[in-house]
């Protein structure tokens, strides 16, 4: 599973691998609104995570790894607080089923491995995700958060040499 976490619209992706070929199982997100207080937003993220992990465990029987994108330093002191709050909410949802985040990967590594450049744009990342997953060119993710969550999972799988992919040097 790949996670692209934020307070406004965290993305979740489940990817399976067989014979070094990745396949998209699910890509989704949950939106929280600025009309909600932080406690309500974190609760919504936790509840969504709990349901998502439950669904994935029922379908697959197990989850090999959950990977989260790391959070780069920020000049805005409020931003890390909201991101780490989303992380904690997701962790609580995962822990209800005995699942933990296994690893983190930097946004730059994700972009390099999926789109060939650490400065790649969202559209380039989504295109790389579609190619790696064998999705049609016209396949559209509902949000960038969904394609980014897929990219997190795929980039980690490439880095672990579980799937083939072009890793930019």
Tell me the per-residue pLDDT of 7-34, one tens digit each, with 9 for 90 and over.
999 999 999 999 999 999 999 999 999 9
Closest CA to 72 of 119, 114, 106, 109: 106
CA angle 64–91–105, rounded 5-degree value: 60
pLDDT at 16: 96
Average pLDDT for 28-54: 97
Q: Which residue has the tokens 């997190």?
A: 152
Q: How confident is the model at residue 166 (pLDDT cuts 50, 70, 90)?
A: low
The answer to whether residue 89 scores a pLDDT higher than 70 is: yes
Helices (H), 4-159: 38-60, 78-95, 107-115, 122-133, 144-159
pLDDT at 167: 44
pLDDT at 31: 97
* Greater model confidence, 79 or 34: 34
Q: How confident is the model at residue 48 (pLDDT cuts 50, 70, 90)?
A: very high
Q: How confident is the model at residue 169 (pLDDT cuts 50, 70, 90)?
A: very low
The answer to whether residue 168 scores a pLDDT higher than 70 is: no
Average pLDDT for 63-79: 87
pLDDT single digits (tens) 108-154: 999 999 999 999 999 999 999 999 999 999 999 999 999 999 999 99
| Chain mean pLDDT for the chain | 94
């Amino acid at each position: 599973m790949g996670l692209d976490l934020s307070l406004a619209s965290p993305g979740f992706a489940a990817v399976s691998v067989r014979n070094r070929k990745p396949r998209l199982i699910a890509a989704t997100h949950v939106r929280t609104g600025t009309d909600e207080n932080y406690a309500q937003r974190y609760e919504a993220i936790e509840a969504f995570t709990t349901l998502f992990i439950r669904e994935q465990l029922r379908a697959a029987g197990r989850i090999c790894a959950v990977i989260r994108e790391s959070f780069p330093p920020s000049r805005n002191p409020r931003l890390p607080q909201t991101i780490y709050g989303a992380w904690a909410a997701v962790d609580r949802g995962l822990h209800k089923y005995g699942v933990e985040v296994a690893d983190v990967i930097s946004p730059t590594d994700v972009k390099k491995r999926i789109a060939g450049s650490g400065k790649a744009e969202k559209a380039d990342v989504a295109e790389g995700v579609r190619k790696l997953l064998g999705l049609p060119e016209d396949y559209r993710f509902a949000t960038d958060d969904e394609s980014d969550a897929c990219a997190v999972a795929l980039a980690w799988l490439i880095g672990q040499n579980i799937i083939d992919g072009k890793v930019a040097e």
